[in-house]
Amino acid sequence: MSWLSKLKQKTYSLQVRFFAFSLLLAIIPIITIISVSYNQYRSALKIRVSETNFNTVKQKADNIDFILSDVKASSLFLLQNSELLRGLRQTAEEGAADPGNRLKSEQVVREFIYYQQYIYSIHLRAVNGISFDSAFADNIIDDRIYEGLEYTDYALGFNTLTDYSKREINMFSIHTIMYDIRDFTTELAKLKINIPEETIAKIYKDTSFVAKGDYYIIDPQNIIVSSTDADSTGSSIFDVLKISNDDYSNRVNSPEGSLDMMIEREEWHVTWNELMFPGWVLVNTVSFTDLYEDYALIETFTVIAVFFSLFICILFIVFFTVKVLGPLKRMRVAMAEIGEQNFKVHLDVEGKDEISELAGHFNIMSRRLDEMINEVYTGKLKQREAELRALQAQINPHFLYNTLDTIYWMCRIDGSMESAALVQSLSRLFRLSLNSGNEITTVGREVELLENYIDIQKKRYEKAIDFEINVDNSVLDCQTVKLVLQPLVENAIIHGIEEGDGQGTIRVDIQREDDKLVYRIADDGAGVDVEEMNRLLKQVGTDNRGFGISSVHERIRLNFGDEYGIEFISENEEGTEVVVRQPYKPGGLV
């Protein structure tokens, strides 16, 4: 025998079952509520943190754009400075003859740098041969960046320059071409404005913002040029995010946005925002583990609150089990003693609750049991007497059956075969109508009763009335209330045929319709007043008019429900149809 079978067979006290049930009743809702709430909390938190992270990255991108925009706007001073333009318009020979103009041009650039906090240096390379850097640094000039630039157009690049102390410094450089404002087709010089990478990096490294994780600035070739993760600088963003070029392009297909992706079996949140120069993007990556780090304390307190709540629930359950169910256990023991005919048992009554009242009534019961023994004995004698009377009542119908049977055989002996047949039909009708005292019979027996009744009526009306009975054989063993058909057929004879011209047809159809057993009794007699007949179903008229059909209707409703019963359908002078509905219950009698 398995342990589960033994567990099922073992008897547990009410205290144990109540304790187990109450514990489950406490644990299941708490765990369910906490689980649902926790999942909803994590989901809402995920959305909230994602939105916060997105706003933070956007703010950082806007701050970077502010610096780039400020530098661009400031550079217009150089593009339109007449003294600088005068020096750039000189030919190489004019510059050699008058070197003061070159010095003035350099002075203009250096004075401009003095008031610009974001600019490290400006490198200028003029068509006339003038080339200098305001910080005396060596610059790498990529002429491809200047291709296609028109007046006031700018391009952003990333490069390294070497300062006067031979130190290499990473720079974000804004490139533009200086055209002669008197002739915009004339190029005067290429201008390169250098912004230290660390100036830009301070923005996304600023700890006053709440966004966590790593930041990357990527160029139009998707190469990381600046990052909080120094090891990733110079790498492709595809390699860092562990995704393919196509996957990255399909996901990051808008100037700004965020998405969740799996990186090395860990869920990460990636946020991006395009900078003011097309193709340059600020990207932030952070794992959800880090995002939830600040909320770990809340989760810890939640778990503590759950266990504390369970502990309090257990204390209350134990208290209730001991204080309330303990007296019930003592009462069970006392009742077992009464079962052993110890009627002197007594319980101590404490308190004024329902259990105390029950104990008081138990004491009264135990005192009364001795007094009731004689009363019970007397009651048994009376019960035996009632059973004898019931047996006598059962003997009387048998006497009537035997008497009718004697009359039947006397008629046969005297040669009165018709009388014998009538007596036999009456005997069968009487036996079937009694149905051994049972209210429920079968359709088959009800049809047999009706056939015996019709046999008797045929002798009375001879050929004046035709009877037709159509029964679906599948419903013969279906359960039905006894004495349904005979009263309705009798009603059709008396109020339909006799009140007409005395001749006609009565048709009985019995069949199943969906989940209902339906009788239809139709005659072609005088017809009836439907409203009056339906009223008689609810209340018997004077001289017991409608008593038979009312009795059938009420017995059907009492046995099967108010939705079943009798319905009259009639057209005056065109006959009457009675519809009886009962539930379809196959299987015969049990």
pLDDT, position 27: 75
Residues 490, 506: Cα–Cα separation, whole Å: 10
In sequence order, the 6+-apart residues with CB closer than 8 A to the CB of 252 are 259, 270, 272, 281
Kindly list the structural domains of the chain, giving each domain's residue range(s) and its CATH number in brackets, ordered by start: 81-200 (3.30.450), 210-294 (3.30.450.20), 416-583 (3.30.565.10)
The per-residue DSSP string of 28-59 comes to HHHHHHHHHHHHHHHHHHHHHHHHHHHHHHHH
**423, β-bridge pairs:** none
Supply the pLDDT for residue 418: 66
Based on DSSP, count helices (H) and strands (E) in the chain, helices before strands. 17, 17
In the chain, the amino acid numbered 167 is R
- Residue ranges with strand state E in 39-167: 121-126, 131-133, 155-162
Looking at residue 393, its pLDDT comes to 41
Cβ(525)–Cβ(500) under 8 Å?
yes
**Cβ atoms of 164 and 137 closer than 8 Å:** yes
Query: How far is Cα 279 from Cα 156, in angstroms, rounded to an integer?
Result: 10
Q: Quick one: which H or E segment has residue 447?
A: helix 443-461
pTM of the model: 0.49
- Provide the sign of the torsion angle of the four alpha carbons 543, 547, 549, 554, taken in this order: positive
Name the amino acid, one letter, at 323: K
Q: Which of 138, 140, 88, 90 is nearest to 109 (CA)?
A: 88
C-alpha–C-alpha distance, residues 588 and 480, integer Å: 9
Confidence at residue 582, expressed as pLDDT on a 0 to 100 scale? 93
CB 555 within 8 A of CB 454: no
Beta-sheet strand order (sheet of 256-263) = 224-227, 214-218, 281-287, 266-274, 256-263
Ordered per-residue pLDDT tens for the chain, 590 residues: 454 454 444 445 666 776 777 777 777 777 787 777 777 777 777 787 778 888 888 999 999 999 999 888 888 888 888 888 887 887 767 666 666 767 777 888 888 888 888 899 899 888 888 888 888 888 887 888 888 787 778 999 999 999 888 899 999 999 998 888 888 788 888 889 999 999 999 988 876 555 567 899 999 888 999 998 888 888 888 888 777 666 566 555 678 888 888 777 778 888 889 999 988 999 988 887 766 666 667 777 777 877 787 788 778 777 777 766 667 677 667 777 766 666 666 666 666 666 667 766 767 777 777 666 556 655 555 444 434 443 344 434 554 555 565 665 666 666 666 666 666 666 666 666 666 667 788 888 888 888 887 887 777 777 788 888 899 988 899 988 888 888 888 888 888 888 778 788 889 999 999 999 999 988 888 777 777 787 777 766 555 566 677 778 888 887 888 889 888 887 656 788 899 999 998 876 65
Q: Which amino acid is at 479?
A: Q
For residues 292 and 327, give the distance between their C-alpha atoms in angstroms, rounded to a whole number. 52
CA angle 442, 448, 454 (to 5 degrees): 140
**Which residue is associated with the tokens 């003095």?**
114
Please provide residue 104's backbone torsions phi and psi, each rounded to the nearest 5 degrees.
-65, -40
DSSP letters for 125-170:
EETTS-EEETT--B----GGGGTT--TT--EEEEEEEE-TTS-EEE
